[in-house]
Structure 1
Amino acid sequence: MPRSPLALAALATVAIPGMDAFDVRRPAPGGGDHDVAVVIDSERRRWVVRAPASPAAGASLEAETALLELLAEHVDAGRVPFRVPRPAGFAHLPEGGRAVVHREVAGRPLRIDALAAGPGLAASLGRAIAALHELPVDLVENAGLPTYDAASYRARRLAELDEAARTGKVPPALLRRWEEQLEDVSMWRFQPTVVHGDLSAEHVLSDGMTVTGVLAWGDTQVADPADDLAWLVVAAPEDAVESIMEAYQLRRTELTDPHLLDRALLAGELALARWLLYGVRSGDPAVVADAVGMLEELDDHTHAADTEPSLA
């Protein structure tokens, strides 16, 4: 049973001695495997309390907490131009594990459809992602989070594709195109970096002009930097993507990766295959139907683009 907001507020008062909880609210959906609430104290400060809903979620939250404590040094030194959650207190749970409390990070969720070309928010987003990718990889290793080299990460993607193919629900033309790209070794010669792993509009906060914060670090790993760009390449306006990438490339100190955008686009498409696999593994027919519909739409779009007459 999910914990009620009042139960989460009680955990927050245990985690932060002396807290006088004045109000408690559920945030927007997106807590994933955690029960989440925003607690407002008598001084109108806003605190986020997160409690794991399963032992696996508890282990993930502990690893994320360790990473956030290491990241704080880089935030304070100005190596990343945004804020991250800072664990301020913990409350032990009767079933094991801990709830974590941190001050709410300022900003509003990014509106990806409102991104525009130029030196404003799009450029700030590019610099923010580049700064993340410049962080030392031992941050991830020391937090006990996954680390991949380029070859093992490509093998992981191939294994996912094989599993998706066995469902019989991926259009054959998509499968062939994805296989060709995954088997093209030249595309996969990249330098692994720290990767957030779950960047999305709800996890990137802004004040309208700059990126102010990044949330949800539980999927951080050392892997392909293209993964953090996939959501933008797929969904952001094309001219905004150009500004994002220009700022990103200027901020990276070592970037010789001619296939970065190719892999980002592929990662965005393969996210549909992972959504399908999630539906199959969890036995959720609604998720399977949603994934199949999006895969068919992508297949139609790809076929239309391939058969468009050339203007040359």
Structure 2
Amino acid sequence: MRRDPYLMAALASAALPGAEPTRVQLLDTSGADLDLALVQDDRGERHVVSAPRGPAAGADLEREAAALGLLARLADPATGVRLPFTVPAVAGWTPLPEGGRAVVTTWVPGDEVDVAALRPGPLATSLAHALAVVHGLPASAVDDAGLPVWSASEVRDRRLSELDRAAATGRVPARLLARWERALEEVRWWRFSPVVVHGDLDGTRVLTDGREVTGITGWGSLSVGDPADDLGWLAAAAPTEALEAVLAAHAGARHEPLDPALAARARLAGEMALARYLLHGAALEDDDVLDDATAMLEDLEASLDDDDEMGL
């Protein structure tokens, strides 16, 4: 059962001694097993309260708190790392009666990115540079923090596992399954150097003032893995010229050898995000999510041209 605004305010008050909540707005969690609320206190400060509804969501929330702690340590002036955007900071927490804990983080202002309206220009360049900074963070720090570290072959194996599990639902069009299988069998695509990745980006988690990226939220999937995972949302929904501009600026900012398969893997990641959404619905036994994911998969299948082979 979803927690009401009064309970979310009480959790914020318990996590932030001395702060008196004056306004509470429940936030849409889109099928996640999590309650979220934006709380403003009597000092005018705003925080986000996150309270899991079950153990799995609680584990996800703990991973995000660990990731935010790592980012705070990395962004310390003594490290020489500078994040060109704001990330949430853990401001407090409070135990829940049923076990686990609610976590309170600072609110990050900004407008969500309208991916379909993205064009080459300052915002696309800023986005590319923001991703390049994330991808340039020290992988050893992620490992030391106990967060996942995946090799290129392990990334591919995880994709294959997702493919098998999505196929077992019987809800993925056969054409998509065959297309993804061909991509995963393309060995040359999977010879990349793993980097630190956000791992779960979309237009709601990249915040902007209209010209620059000002904040990035939703860090629960921070890991070492495939940089294409952070570009999948763009490959899925951004205009071609915008994606190409981001890829070009990203390559220039990284000063690394060009990855010729990055764009193709990004497109695969964007498409298979729908399979992960389907699997999420299956794990929650949520028929609404399952039906929504099925409809999106069918729309994707219908949108593909006969000669569209994702660069194969």
Give the drift of 1:20.
Answer: 2.1
- 1:287 and 1:57 map into 2 onto residues whose CA distance is 16
Q: For the Cα contact (< 8 Å) 1:64–1:143, is it kept in 2? A: no
Give the drift of 1:228.
Answer: 0.8
For residue 50 of structure 2, give the secondary structure of its aligned residue in structure 1: strand
Match of 1:113 among 106, 113, 116: 116
Q: For the Cα contact (< 8 Å) 2:96–2:102, is it kept in 1? A: yes
1:231 corresponds to which residue? 233
Q: For the Cα contact (< 8 Å) 2:119–2:241, is it kept in 1? A: yes
Amino acid at match of 1:122: A
RMSD: 2.2
Match of 1:135 among 134, 137, 143: 137
> What is the CA deviation profile of residues 22-62 of structure 1, one whole-angstrom value per residue up to 9, with x for unaligned ones?
22222344483321111111121111111222122222222
Query: Given the superposition, is the C-alpha separation of residues 202 and 179 from structure 1 closer, same or farther in structure 2, using an over 3 Å criterion?
Result: same
- 1:16 and 1:168 map into 2 onto residues whose CA distance is 47
Query: Given the superposition, is the C-alpha separation of residues 306 and 261 from structure 1 closer, same or farther in structure 2, using an over 3 Å criterion?
Result: closer
2:186 corresponds to which residue? 184
Residue 94 (str. 1) matches residue 93 (str. 2): no
Q: For the Cα contact (< 8 Å) 1:67–1:139, is it kept in 2? A: no
- 2:31 and 2:86 map into 1 onto residues whose CA distance is 19
Give the drift of 1:298.
Answer: 2.8
TM-score when scaled to structure 1? 0.90
1:56 corresponds to which residue? 56
Residue 65 (str. 1) matches residue 65 (str. 2): yes
- 1:104 and 1:145 map into 2 onto residues whose CA distance is 23
Residue 8 (str. 1) matches residue 8 (str. 2): yes
Structure 2, unpaired ranges of 5+? none
Amino acid at match of 1:73: R
Q: For the Cα contact (< 8 Å) 1:63–1:144, is it kept in 2? A: no
Give the drift of 1:212.
Answer: 0.9
Q: For the Cα contact (< 8 Å) 2:63–2:221, is it kept in 1? A: no
Larger radius of gyration: 1
- 2:132 and 2:4 map into 1 onto residues whose CA distance is 38
Q: For the Cα contact (< 8 Å) 1:123–1:243, is it kept in 2? A: yes
Query: Given the superposition, is the C-alpha separation of residues 28 and 283 from structure 1 closer, same or farther in structure 2, using an over 3 Å criterion?
Result: closer
Give the drift of 1:289.
Answer: 3.8
1:149 corresponds to which residue? 151
2:86 corresponds to which residue? 83
Amino acid at match of 1:19: A
2:174 corresponds to which residue? 172
Give the drift of 1:17.
Answer: 1.6
Give the drift of 1:305.
Answer: 4.3
1:310 corresponds to which residue? none
Provide the aligned length of Structure 1 versus Structure 2.
Answer: 306
Which range moves more in the overlay, 290-299 or 203-212?
Answer: 290-299
- The percent of aligned pairs where both chains have the same amino acid is 50
Query: Given the superposition, is the C-alpha separation of residues 19 and 156 from structure 1 closer, same or farther in structure 2, using an over 3 Å criterion?
Result: same
- 2:208 and 2:51 map into 1 onto residues whose CA distance is 25
